[in-house]
Amino acid sequence: MKDHEAKKNAETNNENKAEHNSGIKFHLPPGVNFGDIYMDAPQLARELNFGKRTISNMRNSGKISSTTLFGKLFYFRQEIAAILEANRKVRKG
30 or 57: which carries more pLDDT confidence?
Answer: 57
Q: Give the containing element (helix H, strand E) for 40.
A: strand 38-40
pLDDT value at position 49?
94
Give tens-digit pLDDT for 1-56: 555 554 444 444 444 444 444 566 667 778 888 888 899 999 999 999 999 899 99
- Global pTM reads 0.64
Q: Give, as one character, the DSSP assignment of residue 29.
A: -
What's the CA gap between 80 and 38, in Å, rounded? 10
Number of helices followed by number of strands (H, E) in the chain:
5, 5
The sign of the CA dihedral 14, 44, 83, 91 is negative
CB within 8 A of 10, min separation 6: which ones? none
CB 28 within 8 A of CB 16: yes
